């Protein structure tokens, strides 16, 4: 009877995005750099809420779509919002500024919302708000 010594389990590689604070590759950082989601700074409260509700891939999609549909978008920020009127209800807001005519911007907004409803489950989409303002 032959015996197999140290059998190696088969391994499957899978691409996985890593999330965490960015730190310099050299030496000890003098200050911890902020979290970022798709290149947008994420305050600790945003990070914790996104982690708790598995929102990272959906936030990345929304930020990517904003870049796609709003070519003039700039000054991005993420904010954790607690509803003052509905107990226990909170969400993350993606805020940015745009330029263009009202008709152009609202067409872009409709395209974004159509993409969101097609690709993001409602329970996740409900936790991601999109707020824009006009640049002067």
* HEC per residue, 21-46: CCCCCCCCCCCCCCEEECCEEECHHH
The pTM score is 0.74
Q: Is 22 left (phi over 0), alpha (psi -120 to 50) or beta?
A: beta
pLDDT band at 22 (very low <50, low <70, confident <90, very high): low
> Can you tell me the mean pLDDT for 110-116?
96
pLDDT of residue 34: 78
pLDDT in tens, 8-19: 444 443 344 545
- Residue 117, token pair as written in the block: 């409803």
For the chain, the structural domain boundaries read 35-134
> Can you tell me the mean pLDDT for 109-132?
95
What is the spatial distance between Cα 130 and Cα 62, in angstroms, rounded to a whole number?
9
End-to-end CA distance of the chain: 82
User: Under a CB-based contact definition with an 8 Å cutoff, are residues 46 and 80 in contact?
Assistant: yes
CATH number of 35-134: 3.30.300
pLDDT band at 25 (very low <50, low <70, confident <90, very high): low
């Amino acid at each position: 009877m032959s015996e197999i010594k140290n059998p190696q389990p088969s391994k499957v590689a899978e691409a996985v995005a890593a999330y965490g604070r960015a730190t310099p590759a050299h030496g000890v950082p003098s200050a911890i750099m902020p979290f970022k989601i798709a290149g947008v700074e994420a305050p600790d409260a945003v990070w914790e809420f996104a982690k708790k509700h598995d929102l990272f891939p959906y936030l990345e999609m929304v930020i990517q779509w904003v870049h796609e549909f709003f070519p003039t978008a700039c000054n991005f920020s993420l904010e954790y919002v607690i509803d003052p009127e509905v107990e226990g209800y909170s969400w993350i807001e993606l805020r940015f500024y745009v330029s263009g005519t009202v008709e152009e911007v609202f067409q872009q907004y409709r395209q974004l919302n159509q993409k969101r409803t097609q690709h993001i489950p409602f329970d996740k989409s409900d936790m991601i708000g999109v707020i824009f303002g006009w640049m002067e």
